[in-house]
Every structure is written in structure tokens, then in C-alpha cells.
Amino acid sequence: MSATPPLLGERLSKVFQAPAVPLTVFSGVDIEVRRGERVALTGESGAGKTTLLYLLGLLDRPTAGRIFVDGADVSGLGEAELAAIRNRTIGFVWQRNTLLAEFTAVENVMMPLLIRGEPRAAAREASAALLEEVGLAARAQHLAGELSGGEQQRVALARALAGSPSILLADEPTGNLDERTAALVIELIERVHERRGLATLYVTHNPNFARRAHRVLRLEGGRLLPG
Ligand SMILES: Nc1ncnc2c1ncn2[C@@H]1O[C@H](COP(=O)(O)OP(=O)(O)OP(=O)(O)O)[C@@H](O)[C@H]1O
Ligand SMILES: [Mg+2]
């Protein structure tokens, strides 16, 4: 018998109610990300990659279908319960820098821990260790807004890991970086993924980065297809 996958989407559909006609982004999408698995999600602009990540990250609800996180069906849960699951189980890295520019790197990483009610000193200590894990210990006290793009993505990755998630979702985490810096960020994601045994799903337009995943999925014409 196989273990319960950390992330499972079943027959997922998303329809946006546009002014003229409803827009069906995708329908009947089945997706599974197993523990220890790194899956790349590709597809043309507008194919629905971010939309799918929002559903799987419990930031938006599917029009139809069900999502299971660590084996539990989350479909019937309210906003507060979904937020709690997100905080404990799912780490996000986005393409655009989502750090708070006026706060230091370590303060940014601390945020999810403070939100879940951890004492400040413990949160600070854990966050310093996370910055060390992404190779940024020396930048802990720098303002996030003053860091380079690559450094900011590393802080964002440290923040995503702060809640000790089992699932890592990344939406074009290297989209704004030059090729060399992008490769460093991808390698870092691979390292933390391995070390922590995560279930990782990342969107990328870069075929080289997609090839490095264990599995590649492609959204096309409202369907999810193998690589
Ligand atoms: N909140 C919304 N309301 C209406 N339509 C939306 C909404 N969000 C996304 N869409 C539409 O859904 C489709 C899929 O968008 P999505 O952002 O998921 O694409 P994507 O694959 O991530 O594209 P990109 O590679 O450019 O980031 C697009 O046609 C978009 O206009
Ligand atoms: Mg997108």
C-alpha cells in the first residue's frame, strides 16, 4: 500500500465568472505530489498555472473537485481552518518579491512563526537558523528591501520553510532573476527539498529547470498533461 501523498487534487475545475462569458481555466484536473517528490508545472502564459497553485495552496477554492492535504479533505473547511493548515503545512515562494521591505531579513522569516503564536525569542532563533540554511546568515539584520533579487528569493524560501511545511509551492521562483542566480535558487530549493523530504511543486518557464524535476506536468487547453 502506498503512503498518503501530502498533496492531492481530484477532478479540479476552476471557472471565473467573467462579465460576458464564464472563463473555464481548467477542468477535471487530477494532481498528486508525493513526499520527497519534486514536480515541475509548465504551460503557456494564461494556461492556469498560478490558478492551480492557488487552489492547491488553499488560497482560493475550486469550482469543482476536492483537495486533500496530508490525506484530509479540506473542501468543507472555513477560512480560519484553511489559514491554519496553510500556516502549518504549506510553504510558498512567489515570483515577485513578497517580503516586507522595511523589515529585516530575519524579521521577515519570523512572521509566520509569530502568526502561529510562537514566542519572539524562539521565533528569532529558528529564523536565524533558517537564514543559515539558505546561506544568508550574514544578511540577517539587513533590510529586505536592500537585498539583491537572488538574496530576497532566498529569504522568501527561508520564510516559506519557517512553519516546517510538508509541502512547498513555488510560482516561477526564479522568474525575475538572471540565469546564474536563478540556477543557484533552483539548486537551493532542491537542497532544502531533499534535506526536509518535502513534496514540492514549482512553476517554471525554463526547460532546463523543468527537466531537473522528478516529474513534469503541463497545463494545456484546460487539461493537465504529462511533461
Ligand atoms: N481572479 C480572476 N478572475 C478572472 N479571471 C482570472 C482570475 N485569475 C486568473 N484569471 C484568468 O485565468 C487564466 C489563467 O491565469 P493564470 O494566472 O493562472 O495563468 P498562468 O498559467 O499562471 O500564466 P503566467 O505564465 O502568465 O503566469 C487567465 O486567462 C487569467 O486571465
Ligand atoms: Mg502565473
Q: Which H, E and C letters describe 52-108, residue by residue?
A: HHHHHCCCCCCCEEEEEECCEECCCCCHHHHHHHHHHHEEEECCCCCCCCCCEHHHH
Residue nearest to atom 14 of ligand 1 (CA): 48
Q: What percent of the chain has pLDDT over 90?
A: 92
> Could you identify the residue written with the cell 520564510?
159
Residue 180 backbone dihedrals phi, psi, to 5 degrees = -70, -45
Average pLDDT of span 79-107: 94
Q: How confident is the model at residue 59 (pLDDT cuts 50, 70, 90)?
A: very high
* pTM to 2 decimal places: 0.95
Strands 90-93, 72-73: pairing is unpaired
Ligand nearest to the CA of 46: 1
Q: Which CATH class is domain 7-226?
A: alpha beta
CB 72 within 8 A of CB 89: no
Does the pLDDT value for residue 111 go beyond 70? yes
Q: Across residues 84-90, what is the average pLDDT?
A: 94
Residue 30 CB neighbours (<10 A):
11
CA of 47 to the centre of ligand 1 (A): 7
CA distances from 52 to 29, 70, 86 (A): 9, 18, 15
Are 50 and 60 in contact, with CB atoms under 8 Å apart? no
Q: Is the pLDDT of residue 64 over 70?
A: yes
Q: Which helix (H) or strand (E) holds 150?
A: helix 149-161
Show me where the domains of the chain are located. 7-226
Q: What is the pLDDT of residues 18-57, one digit of tens each?
A: 888 999 999 999 999 999 999 999 999 999 999 999 999 9
Q: What integer pLDDT is reported at residue 2 of this predicted model?
A: 62
pLDDT above 60 (res 1):
no
Q: How far is the CA of 206 from the centre of ligand 2 (A)?
A: 13
pLDDT tens digits, residue range 143-188? Answer: 999 999 999 999 999 999 999 999 999 999 999 899 999 999 999 9
